[in-house]
Amino acid sequence: MMNKIIVLLAAVLLSGSAYAQNNILNAKSPGDFGTKTESQLANDNDRPLPYGFVGDRDILWQRTVWETIDLDERVNFPLYYPVDTNYVGKERRSLYHVLTKAAMSGDITLYGDSYFNEPREFSDIQSSLKSQKITNAGINILNDNGVIPDESVPPLDIDTTYNIPGFDEYIETKTIGADDVKEYRIRGLWYFDTRQSDLRYRLLGICPVTPDVNFPDDPKGVELFWIYYPDARLLLHNAKAFNTLNSARPISFDHILNSRRFNAMIYRMDNVQGDRDIKRYISDNSMMQLLESDRLKEIIRNFELDMWNY
């Protein structure tokens, strides 16, 4: 009887938390969906679990790894979807939407490299996200009017600059969206904590990779920006991914990334050759690159196993 009461209380508490999170049953209008009241926010006191302090003397061994998260893999879908926000609620956004919105508003600091040496502004990457060019029909109209457009004049300003009304319909605009993101690159640190006597992982940075809108056929893509992950934890904790097992209990992006609920492949590990990528010493052979990535994983895994062999 006591076990049934405990299970019932747990179910009530969990359901109450779920309803408060989605705010569907308590909403007075559809605009209140996904929005918590001030009293709900105060009662939740919902913040990411802080990292514990790790002293330098407590780290017996460490290796820094760079990994790529391929969004074509099913296990990584929670980081990719939804790509079209027109058909989902406002509380559901992809990781790309969350990061770019915060980047545009200046809520997080952007960097140009994974070592966080080069701070960047969102305006620095806008040329990689959006492009405008004149169609062939528009070029013919300019030729008919004897106009040679100045490269410093944006295409949409040609109608006013050169007095050609309605020229904006001859402007082709391309924009990189969430559906164009092919992978995320992360940098993390594996270390052996002597106080806890176990191998642990700490995520340091994350970077979305998309095609360059000016060179869409380039298979390498472009690193839009790097984010120092500890600075973005609160943002990613408040943003939720879809839970396929129970939509009443969505999972935060911070939880997914910190608990490594994704599949990734190592493409670089710190080394004496300036932290060179695997592709730099194994080129034009995808199978051998994959095997080398697995070999680097074994280095990390075997260190902990060897600690307990006598």
More confident residue, 148 or 78: 78
Percent of the chain with pLDDT over 70: 84
| Residue 41 domain flag | no
More confident residue, 150 or 237: 237
Angle at 113 between CA 107 and CA 114, to 5 degrees: 90
Residue 273: pLDDT band (50, 70, 90) is very high
| Residue 228 domain flag | yes
| Residue 68 domain flag | yes
Mean pLDDT calculated for residue range 102-109: 92
| Residue 23 domain flag | no
pLDDT at 5: 42
Residue 41: pLDDT band (50, 70, 90) is low
Residues 143 and 188 in one domain: no
| Residue 30 domain flag | no
Q: Which of 13-17, 85-89, 142-146, 186-190 shows the lowest mean pLDDT across its residues? A: 13-17
CB 253 within 8 A of CB 96: no
Tokens of 21: 């999170």
Domain that holds residue 245: 59-122+179-307
Q: Within 13 Å of residue 186, how many CA atoms lie on the same side as its CB?
A: 22
Mean pLDDT calculated for residue range 260-267: 95
Q: Which is nearest to 176 in space by CA: 140, 215, 138, 226?
A: 215
Residues 100 and 231 in one domain: yes
Tell me the residue length of the chain.
Answer: 310
Q: Rounded mean pLDDT of the chain? A: 83
| Residue 87 domain flag | yes
Residues 137 and 218 in one domain: no
Give the model confidence (pLDDT) of 226-247 as tens digits: 999 999 999 999 999 988 888 8
Residues 276 and 263 in one domain: yes
Q: Which of 122-126, 251-255, 306-310 shows the lowest mean pLDDT across its residues? A: 306-310
Q: Token match 């934890």: residue? A: 233
pLDDT at 79 over 90: yes
pTM of the model: 0.80
Residue 8: pLDDT band (50, 70, 90) is very low
Q: Token match 């879809």: residue? A: 242
Domain count for the chain: 2
Q: CA dist 157 to 127, 149, 179, Å?
A: 17, 10, 29
Residues 279 and 143 in one domain: no
Residues 149 and 261 in one domain: no
Q: Which is nearest to 181 in space by CA: 40, 76, 86?
A: 76
End residue of a domain, out of 175, 196, 212: 175
Which residues share a beta bridge with 184? 69, 208
CB 299 within 8 A of CB 274: no
Question: What phi, psi does 42 have (nearest 5°)?
Answer: -65, -40
| Residue 261 domain flag | yes
Residues 239 and 108 in one domain: yes
Q: How many helices (H) and strands (E) does the chain have?
A: 10, 12
Strand 183-193, strand 59-70: pairing: antiparallel
Residues 133 and 240 in one domain: no
Residues 79 and 150 in one domain: no
Q: DSSP letter at 73?
A: S
Residues 98 and 189 in one domain: yes
- Determine the 3-state secondary structure of 119 from DSSP: strand
pLDDT at 10 over 60: no
- Determine the 3-state secondary structure of 254 from DSSP: helix
End residue of a domain, out of 142, 175, 208: 175
| Residue 136 domain flag | yes
